Structure 1
Amino acid sequence: MTALGFLYPGHSAEDDYPRIEQLLDSDIRLTVIHTDIGEDAHRVDALLEMGSPERLAAGVDQLRHSGAEAVVWACTSGSFVFGWDGAHDQVRALAKTAGLPASSTSFAFAHAVRELGVARVAVGATYPDDVADHFAAFLRSDGIEVVALRGSGIITAAEVGTWGLDEVLELARTADHPDAQAILLPDTALHTAAHLRTLERELSKPVLTANQVTVWEALRLTGRRVNAPSLGTLFTKEPVIQVRD
């Protein structure tokens, strides 16, 4: 049994995690602890407060009793707004507080892009443009080329959580670019676990989504690899490796 812990802000698409646990079809348990979201706003000042050490530490207190072997801050915007160095500081503080290997969804995206061996990505963000720009800057800090970036202007995670397949597919399609080798949808408030095979079939390229990469990152921290094609290319034993050029 491998136990994985996730600190998830508020309530929007947390039901992706039990769905992913089922799709993994293995001896893996996913425990989600909800952190206090504060103000539900895709606005930089609110996101910095959401990802503050105090809010994450409060979640860790609950997580300690779950038996988790690793913990991931399951929030993209509440990590990348700190910048590359600040997000590293956030993760180091989380690891120290939890006494566990730790990461965040933002780093999960960067690591997943490397796993697929791609160099150029398109980003379909639910956020306003200024917040989406922070995510693109975060990726570029790791040498990832963002060839297309689309923001959707949605302010609250609550609204994002109401989106279904049609909205998610439209976001991915409009974000896509001929030069993109993969499409990234960076919001853990977005339901995507049930749609990954459809997204990749319709777009004909790997699609990385926030809750998907968050779980993959926790598995990576514990040294586990799981073959689960229903969770997309990232979760296949032999992912499509594309040579950087």
Structure 2
Amino acid sequence: MTALGFLYPGHSAEDDYPRIEQLLGSDVRVDLVHTDIGEDAHRADALLEMGEAGRLASGLQELRLTGADAVVWACTSGSFVRGWEGAHEQVRALALTAGMPASSTSFAFVHAAQEIGARRVAVGATYPRDVAALFVEFLAAAGVEVTGMTSAGIVTAAEVGGWGEAELFALARAADHPDAQALLLPDTALHTAAHLPALEKELGKPVLTANQVTVWEGLRLADRRVNAPSLGALFTREPIVQV
């Protein structure tokens, strides 16, 4: 049994995680611990506070009791808002405190894009444009080119968590770009786990979503590979050998 631990801020789309666990159809257990969100606002100062070391550490004791093999900070904006170096410092501190391999959703997107060989991506962000631009900068620091970025301008995770299939597909269609090798939807408050094959069929390319790549990152840290077509191309492709 591989046990994966996730620190998830607040309550928005956490039901994606048991769904993903079920779709993995393997000996993988997904354990979720909620962290204090503080102010629910996609605003830089609030996001920096949300991802403070003390807030993350408060959930780690519960995760240790689950016997987790790895931990991922299941928040994109609460990691990339710190910039490339700051996000690295965040996960280094998390790993040190947890005593296990650690990462965050922002790095999960980078590693997942590398996994499928996507050097050029489009971004469909629920966040306000200034926050979404920070994600574009983060990807650029990792060598991932963003061919286009669409912002829905939503301030709170609570509102995003209330989105349904119609809103999700509208964002994906608006954000897609013909030059993009994949589409990225970077918000763990957005329900996507039930829609990945349909999204990829609609767009004709891989779609990487926040909760999907977060779980994949946990598996990567635990040195596990699971074939799960219901979770999209990321869970069906062999690793790309970069030359």
Normalised to the residue count of structure 1, the TM-score between the two structures is: 0.97
Amino acid of the structure 1 residue aligned with 2:198: T
Amino acid of the structure 2 residue aligned with 1:76: T
Amino acid of the structure 1 residue aligned with 2:196: L
Q: Which secondary structure does the structure 1 equivalent of 2:39 belong to?
A: coil
Q: Which secondary structure does the structure 2 equivalent of 1:21 belong to?
A: helix
Unaligned runs of 5+ in 1: none
Look up the match of 2:50: 50
Cα distance in 1, alignment partners of residues 238 and 48 from structure 2: 37
Cα distance in 1, alignment partners of residues 118 and 132 from structure 2: 20
1:53-132 superposed matches below 5 A: 53-132=53-132
1:198-233 deviation digits (Å, cap 9, x = unpaired): 000000000000000000000000100000000000
Cα RMSD, aligned residues only: 1.2
Cα distance in 2, alignment partners of residues 15 and 188 from structure 1: 11
Look up the match of 1:35: 35
Cα distance in 1, alignment partners of residues 190 and 184 from structure 2: 12
1:20-49 deviation digits (Å, cap 9, x = unpaired): 000000000000000000000000000000
CA contact (8 A) 1:197 1:231 kept: yes
Amino acid of the structure 2 residue aligned with 1:184: L
CA contact (8 A) 1:118 1:243 kept: no
CA contact (8 A) 1:118 1:242 kept: no
1:156-195 superposed matches below 5 A: 156-195=156-195
Look up the match of 1:229: 229
CA contact (8 A) 1:116 1:242 kept: no
1:54-91 deviation digits (Å, cap 9, x = unpaired): 10010112211111000000000000000000000000
1:164-217 deviation digits (Å, cap 9, x = unpaired): 111111111100111000000000000000000000000000000000000000
Change beyond 3 A, Cα 1:243–1:92: closer
Change beyond 3 A, Cα 1:175–1:135: same
Q: 1:118: Cα distance to partner?
A: 1.4
Q: Which secondary structure does the structure 2 equivalent of 1:117 belong to?
A: coil
The question of 1:202 aligning with 2:202 is answered: yes
Identity %: 74
CA contact (8 A) 2:76 2:187 kept: yes
Q: Which secondary structure does the structure 1 equivalent of 2:223 belong to?
A: coil
Deviates more, 1:57-66 or 1:105-114: 57-66
Cα distance in 2, alignment partners of residues 189 and 206 from structure 1: 20
Look up the match of 1:144: 144
CA contact (8 A) 1:226 1:237 kept: no
CA contact (8 A) 2:116 2:237 kept: no
Q: Which secondary structure does the structure 2 equivalent of 1:168 belong to?
A: helix
